[in-house]
Amino acid sequence: MMKSPHVIFIMGPTATGKTDLALYLHENIDSEIISVDSAMIYKDMNIGTAKPDKELLAKAPHRLIDIRNPLESYSAAQFRDDANLAIKEILAKNRTPVLVGGTGLYFRALEQGLADLPEANYSIRARIEADADADGWNTLHKRLKIIDPDAANRINENDSQRIQRALEVYEITGKTLTSLIFAERKEPFPYPIKKIILSPKDRSVHHDRVKHRFLEMLKSGFVDEVEALYRRSDLSLNLPSMRLVGYRQVWHYLDEECNYEEMCNYVLIATRQLAKRQITWCRSEGNAEWYDPYQNGAFSEILKNLHN
């Protein structure tokens, strides 16, 4: 038996079977699952986020899924508060919290805490927007990569809102967003962590898995799901929910900015780029055990090692 209380983290890039592992552990350990995914928080966004279906959720409920309307935002600090509360509730039942997902910033915020960040400075924001109008957000993303390479790796070059915020914070404080986020640990994480990272050794196999999963999403009605969101008058590409990988590219397709084949290719490229950023993030994680999810017997080996 594992020593208690403790918390299990299941991390890794997209399309590596993290949810499958969480369900496997749930069947073999008295546990409850907490989602660590900045996409699965949104209601009405099920197919493109690879959210577990209703049947699976009935067998193994996930906390922190479907907690926000796509119109709303959700910060790492909010996640930390919600996750800490969920962990306490699960441990009070003498069960093991299993946290699973691909949002590295959420895991880091929970484990290391978050520092206070400066309030918005609208004159600086206006200047950054003027630079973007003149040179393009790609150029500003390159500027951010020089100033704060860790933030640039986390932030997609099309994510203008987050690029702007990272540059704004640097201009206000003279310090990088990354250094401020993790500058101080408000409260040390009070429980021992068993950290598991699923990362395929063969990149081509992973790319095939990514493609297969996306094709299955299309068969399941992913474009229709995005179209329902697209037709809402209150949603736009300025929102974090609509800038998620897959949703953004289908939105452009619905706007007739690309054809269907191009859209599919853009989604696959963006997903591979996301996976690369996630792997880079995972490499900075300490005290983690790495497993190839496509290796035979990987899950049973993980379970065995958890009991040791």
Question: Is there a single domain that holds both residue 80 and residue 192?
Answer: yes
Nearest by Cα to 250 from 293, 218, 203: 218
Q: Are residues 299 and 232 in the same domain?
A: yes
Identify the CATH number of the domain in which residue 145 sits.
1.10.20.140
Low-confidence ranges of the chain (pLDDT < 70): 1-5, 183-187
176 occurs within a structural domain: yes
Residues 6+ positions from 111 with CB-CB distance below 8 Å: 9, 189, 193
Q: Is 39 helix (H, G, I), strand (E, B) or coil?
A: coil
Helices assigned H by DSSP within 18-159: 18-28, 54-59, 76-92, 104-112, 122-135, 137-147, 149-154
| Residues 135 and 160 grouped into a single domain | yes
Q: How far does the chain reach from its first CA to its final CA, in angstroms? A: 8
Question: Would residue 128 count as lying in a domain?
Answer: yes
SS3 for 10? Answer: strand
Q: Is there a single domain that holds both residue 25 and residue 100?
A: yes
Nearest to 15 by CA among 200, 283, 265: 200
pLDDT at 1: 46
Q: Bin 137: left if φ > 0, else alpha if -120 < ψ < 50, else beta.
A: alpha
Same domain, 276 and 198: yes
**Beta carbons within 10 angstroms of residue 132's beta carbon:** 18
DSSP state of 54: H
pLDDT score of 22:
98
Residue 2 lies in a domain: no
In this prediction the pTM is 0.84
> Do 216 and 88 share a structural domain?
yes
Both 219 and 107 in one domain: the answer is yes
Residues 203 and 272 in one domain: yes
Q: Are residues 213 and 271 in the same domain?
A: yes
* The predicted structure's pLDDT at residue 185: 56
At which of 181, 207, 222 does a domain end?
A: 181
**Whole-number Å distance between alpha carbons of 128 and 135:** 10
What's the CATH code of the domain at 42?
Answer: 3.40.50.300
Within this chain, do residues 219 and 80 fall inside the same structural domain, yes or no? Answer: yes
Its domain, for residue 145, covers 122-181
| Statement to judge: residues 32 and 94 lie in one domain | yes
Has residue 153 been placed in a domain?
yes
Give the pLDDT confidence score for residue 148 in this predicted structure. 95
In terms of DSSP bridges, do strands 288-291 and 96-100 run parallel, antiparallel, or are they unpaired? unpaired
Whether 142 is covered by a domain: the verdict is yes
**Distance between CA atoms of 114 and 81, rounded to whole angstroms?**
11
Q: How many domains does the chain have?
A: 2
Query: Which residue, of 181, 204, 228, is where some domain finishes?
Result: 181
Q: Phi then psi for 248, rounded to 5 degrees?
A: -65, -45
Residue 54 lies in a domain: yes
Residue 278: inside a domain = yes
CA 184/CA 247 separation, integer angstroms: 35
Q: In this structure, are 88 and 160 located in the same domain?
A: no
286-305 residues labelled b (16+ CB within 10 A) or e (exposed): eebeebebeeeebbeebeee
Cβ neighbours of residue 131 under 8 Å, at least 6 residues apart?
139, 140
